[in-house]
A and B are shown apart, each in its own frame.
Chain A
Amino acid sequence: MESQRGRPALFRSLAVCGLGAMDSTVIRHVAEHISTRSCMPYTIIPEMDIPAYAFDEKRGQYNSKVILKRLMQFPHDCIRLLAVTQVDLFVPILKYVFGLAQVGGPCALISTYRLRPEFYGHDPDRDLFMARIGKTAMHELGHSLGLTHCRNRRCVMYSSTRINDTDLKRSDFCPTCFELFRWHLEKCRVEPNLYVPQN
């Protein structure tokens, strides 16, 4: 048995990685954003490739569920892994997704594809783009820690069906979700669930 002391710093941090080519400032923004709000250290891990088999010819999009399953196969010595990609994601039943996570699971995934104002025919707006990325990342991190959707439209755990929902909600949790978030996070600190990868 390895001692607490001997464990690398990564073990108690939130890991962020790019999936496919990613702008490094976006990755750092995500890492700093979730790290500040959860008072947890972050680690940026090297970029991974998007599995080609996740691409769905008929849809012209990547199947986020397939990617998530792939991410879960890697062992991660961290509290949670958040992957960021710029390709368009979907999940069966839905036309597209901004993000995906296993509730209470080790990995989460977000796409910046539909967060760019340009996607909606608007002028580029770096601040708006970054704010959307921050909210989406926090939301998926919340899921992966065990939080489910919140009915409060202003809470970051409100489910975004459209980009307007994302713009309307704040980047923070409502008081109830905040309590839950802290409680789940505390559990991770005490007994970090170092998960065993699936085969």
Chain B
Amino acid sequence: MPGKGKVQSMKIVPPGKKKCVWMEAGVVSYKLCDNNYDCPTCVYDHAMQTKVARQKESMVAKPAEAQPDKFTATWVEKMMMLPASSRKCRYMITGEIGRKLCPNAYECGTCSFDRMMQQRLQSEPMAVSASVQVAGFEVADGFYYHEGHTWARPEYGGRVRVGLDDFARRLIGKLSGIEMPGIGHELKQGEAGFGVRRNGKSAGILSPVDGVVTRINDRLLDHPELVNASPYEEGWFAIVEPTRLRKNLKDLYYGEEAHTFTSEEKERLFSMANDDLNIAADGGISVEDISEELEETQWLRLVKAFLRSK
């Protein structure tokens, strides 16, 4: 076993990535989670479960031929072989909480701690771990951005939180109201799913992903200004159960691409707002409320051009 441990420790999990539960349990030596810990919809998890089941069947038939490197146990079984004091709760594995041992033999579906965590994680937005200023706009790390200036952030369990980006909230300005879809409403990527109002005018907001709304941020109904104050945290719009997440994410901007997109949008905004002179200006973080500096007629034109809604 020491040899095996060495191999594992040489593989470093890159920052921002998380170990697959099969790696955490020591069944496989290296595998990162690529499905946001939504094991029920994970292709890898299905394949591994099948492999283990097949291996077990063959061991029953011809026990002598079982080889040590074959997968003979699922990650839950491996974890259950550990002493109780080493059985990490899955929220500890994913880093959502500090130290917590599994109280329920990894039967998360019937675990009350799991239920509490799910509710807590849904109502409290995850903190932005880091963000960069791009052309004077805040771009939060780990978020996926839609060209209509909405964001999607996959969270634990496969759900996706969505909201409006910093560029949009400055462009739209101080909101007077938000229109939300009902729970159970089906959103389509690139189609209007939300609405914002300001000074009697309204504009649609495109959904960044396909999916079903499972929760809305109802604080925004009475306090739309939360979007202006905190677009990536307190001002989130909704939580969605995605239906085509992997495909959707490919159509969104992430990391360096999101930075390029934002700086191009700033140039486009500036030239559209000053199209009377074709000006290029240097300097300048954008003002907090861009709409205050636009003429009334410009607001709707620019908001629609950048939110890309009709």
User: Which A residues fall within an 8 A CB radius of B?
Assistant: 64-65, 68-69, 90-105, 114, 136, 139-140, 143, 148-149, 159-162
Judge whether A96 and B279 touch: CB under 8 Å.
no
Where chain A touches its partner, the secondary structure class is mixed
Judge whether B282 and A100 touch: CB under 8 Å.
yes
Question: With A93-B269, A94-B287, A159-B135 in contact, do A64 and B277 touch (Cβ < 8 Å)?
Answer: no
CA distance A122 to B14 in the complex (A): 39
Judge whether A100 and B281 touch: CB under 8 Å.
yes
Judge whether B274 and A143 touch: CB under 8 Å.
no
Q: Which residue in chain A gives the minimum CB-CB distance to B290?
A: A93
Q: Which residue in chain B gives the minimum CB-CB distance to A69?
A: B277
Judge whether B283 and A160 touch: CB under 8 Å.
yes
Where chain B touches its partner, the secondary structure class is mixed
* Minimum C-beta distance from A120 to chain B (A): 14
Judge whether A101 and B279 touch: CB under 8 Å.
yes
B280 lies within 8 A of chain A by Cβ: yes
Judge whether B281 and A161 touch: CB under 8 Å.
no
Q: Which residues of chain B from 260 to 310 have a CB within 8 Å of any chain A CB? A: 263, 267, 269-270, 273-274, 277-287, 290, 293-294
Question: With A69-B277, A93-B270, A104-B278 in contact, do A99 and B290 touch (Cβ < 8 Å)?
Answer: no
Q: Of A95, A102, A159, which is within 8 A of B277 by CB? A: A102
Judge whether B282 and A64 touch: CB under 8 Å.
no
* Interface size counted on chain B using CB atoms at 8 A: 23
Question: With A64-B281, A143-B280, A148-B280 in contact, do A94 and B286 touch (Cβ < 8 Å)?
Answer: yes
Residues of A contacting B273 in the complex (Cβ-Cβ under 8 angstroms): 92-93
Residues of A contacting B133 in the complex (Cβ-Cβ under 8 angstroms): 161
Q: Of A92, A104, A160, which is within 8 A of B282 by CB? A: A160
Question: With A65-B274, A159-B135 in contact, do A94 and B281 touch (Cβ < 8 Å)?
Answer: yes
* Minimum C-beta distance from A45 to chain B (A): 22
Q: Of A93, A103, A159, A162, which is within 8 A of B278 by CB? A: A103
Q: Which residue in chain B gives the minimum CB-CB distance to A64?
A: B281
Residues of B contacting A143 in the complex (Cβ-Cβ under 8 angstroms): 280
Question: With A99-B283, A140-B282, A159-B135 in contact, do A92 and B293 touch (Cβ < 8 Å)?
Answer: yes
